[in-house]
Structure 1
Amino acid sequence: MGAKVSIGDFAVMTSLSRKALRHYHDIGILEPTHIDPHTGYRFYDTSQVDHAHIIRRFRSLGMSIPDIKALLSTDDAAARADIITTHLEQMEVQLQQTRDTVGALRKLLSPVRTSTDVTLRHEPALAVWSVSDTIDVSTIDEWFGESLTTLHHAAVMASGVETAIVPGGLYDRELFLEQRGSATMFVAAPPSANPPEGVRAEVLPAAEYAVLTHPGAHDDGIDRSYGALGTYVNERLISHQGPIREHYLGGTASTSAAFTATEICWPILRTAAPSE
């Protein structure tokens, strides 16, 4: 044991305020060594200074109280290392999220340019293999990856060789409007083959679309591409309330999910028959 010091001196020695010291006492991670029964004054021991510094530093780094308790309550070096490593990994994730947010905000400062590279396309009826589900927007990335993997494996099994596929998706308006709705992932049906269990064979009906190609990943401003295409359609054409269609371009045989661009296909009504 060291010397007994007042809460005022201990606050100076540790850079912890009276409020913080009382809080850490109440939750049991830094208790005074003595409380005067008559005055209620709290006293600490100089041997607790290092303990207090550890708490302050880890709290300033965002470590949770339960993790700090676990860190201080164990003498196992490996257990301490695991707690610190886990917190470090969490901080790295948060740092990347902050960088992504800063990047997105910088893009919002740039002027919005409505793309004029919109084409009108007639998509003929197409025989496909598909996977459909009703999903929440919050789980769409997980569903997307799982569905694409299922269809890629099915296509490889049907053809017997690794082959690049151009997958597509259909997304009902409810998914955008209510954050929950029907989603379908599809690939062109391999010839003379039956789909495996969990994959459906169907024919997508012919439809008319206004099409804009979004370069890059979905998290790289695809919302602005949707905004540009929707503006173009509603200012120049007649929007149809059918599902939005996407085509995922640039994937390879081994990495079909690593596409480099997305064709966004907005359904429209056309009064003239397509010339193509």
Structure 2
Amino acid sequence: MGARVSIGDFAVMTGLSRKALRHYHDIGILEPAEVDSDTGYRFYDTGQVDHAHIIRRFRSLGMSIPDIKALLSADDAATRTEIITTHLEQMEVQLQQTRDSVGALRELLSPVRTPALIAVRHEPALAVWSVGATIETSEIDDWFAVTLSTLRDAVATAAGAPVAVVPGGLYDRALFLESQGEATMFVPAPPSATPPAGVRAEVFPAAEYAVLRHSGGHDGIDRSYGALGTFANEHLISRQGPIREHYLGGSLADPTAFTTTEICWPILGTSTPPG
């Protein structure tokens, strides 16, 4: 048992404001040693200083109140270590996200630049197996994973074994404009096979595209779209219609770890890009 101190002295000793101390009292993680029944004044014990420092330090590091409560109530070192380790891992993830955001913001300081390698390409008619849906843009990641798995399973069943495929997607412009629209994922149709229920067989007609390869994951793909669209509208004749993507670099072991997204912007006619 230490000495009784006023809330003012305790605030100076701990770096916690009167408002914070009252809040922590109300939620039960730092209760005063004594509350005067007549005046309502709060008094703390000097033995609570370390406790208060722990709360302030972990709050400054972003730990949630429930986690701090669990940390302070834990009786064994293993539980405390687990709580702190989990929080550290969350901070590392947030730190990487912050670094990625800083990099993206720095990139935005420069105008969109047209990459050197934009190809004008004729895509021949293609027989595919496909799955389509009307989706919200917020749902696209989940839809992508489920639909890709459906198509891969369908092709594997037809071939009698897992087969490496290069999937692609068609995305209606309404998805970009209205945040809801038609999306279709496809794979080249296996020869002499009938698709299972839920998968349709169709033939994409031949079409002309301006094509750009975006390396890496989805991060920064908006810049690639901006560069490709700028090129298509400044040097070619942009055509309305869905945007086509091809996903390259996946493997049987990790089919969703694509290294490159090939973005295909529909155009009218075929011409040689300006040098």
When normalised by structure 1's length, the TM-score is: 0.88
Report SS of the residue matched to 1:138. helix
Name the residue aligned to 2:113. 113
Q: Aligned partners of 1:267, 1:84: CA distance in 2, in Å?
A: 52
Q: Aligned partners of 2:53, 2:87: CA distance in 1, in Å?
A: 18
* Alpha-carbon distance change, 271 to 254 in structure 1, aligned in 2, over 3 angstroms: closer
8 Å Cα contact 2:35/2:42 also seen in 1: yes
Higher mean C-alpha deviation, range 53-62 or range 152-161: 152-161
* Alpha-carbon distance change, 94 to 270 in structure 1, aligned in 2, over 3 angstroms: same
Name the residue aligned to 2:59. 59
Q: Aligned partners of 2:11, 2:257: CA distance in 1, in Å?
A: 55
Name the residue aligned to 1:226. 225
Report SS of the residue matched to 1:147. helix
Q: Once the 2 structures are TM-superposed, how far is the Cα of residue 36 of structure 1 from its aligned partner?
A: 2.6
Q: Once the 2 structures are TM-superposed, how far is the Cα of residue 42 of structure 1 from its aligned partner?
A: 1.7
Report matched runs for 1:180-259 at 5 Å. Answer: 180-219=180-219, 221-259=220-258
Q: Aligned partners of 1:67, 1:111: CA distance in 2, in Å?
A: 44
Name the residue aligned to 2:131. 131
8 Å Cα contact 2:122/2:270 also seen in 1: no
8 Å Cα contact 2:167/2:186 also seen in 1: yes
Q: Which ranges in structure 1 are unaligned for 5 or more consecutive residues?
A: none
Q: Aligned partners of 2:132, 2:76: CA distance in 1, in Å?
A: 50
Q: Aligned partners of 1:216, 1:109: CA distance in 2, in Å?
A: 21
8 Å Cα contact 2:158/2:193 also seen in 1: yes
Q: Aligned partners of 1:38, 1:250: CA distance in 2, in Å?
A: 73
Q: Once the 2 structures are TM-superposed, how far is the Cα of residue 139 of structure 1 from its aligned partner?
A: 2.6
Name the residue aligned to 2:4. 4
Q: Once the 2 structures are TM-superposed, how far is the Cα of residue 76 of structure 1 from its aligned partner?
A: 5.1
Identity of aligned residues (%): 76
Report matched runs for 1:130-209 at 5 Å. Answer: 130-209=130-209
When normalised by structure 2's length, the TM-score is: 0.88
Q: Once the 2 structures are TM-superposed, how far is the Cα of residue 174 of structure 1 from its aligned partner?
A: 1.0
Report matched runs for 1:71-86 at 5 Å. Answer: 71-75=71-75, 77-86=77-86
Q: Once the 2 structures are TM-superposed, how far is the Cα of residue 194 of structure 1 from its aligned partner?
A: 1.4
8 Å Cα contact 2:63/2:87 also seen in 1: yes
Does residue 95 of structure 2 align to residue 95 of structure 1? yes
Report SS of the residue matched to 2:192. coil
Number of residues paired by the alignment? Answer: 271
Q: Which ranges in structure 2 are unaligned for 5 or more consecutive residues?
A: none
Q: Once the 2 structures are TM-superposed, how far is the Cα of residue 189 of structure 1 from its aligned partner?
A: 0.3
Report SS of the residue matched to 1:247. strand
Report SS of the residue matched to 1:30. coil
Report SS of the residue matched to 1:48. helix
* Alpha-carbon distance change, 251 to 34 in structure 1, aligned in 2, over 3 angstroms: closer
Q: Aligned partners of 2:257, 2:86: CA distance in 1, in Å?
A: 29
RMSD (Å) for aligned C-alpha atoms: 2.3
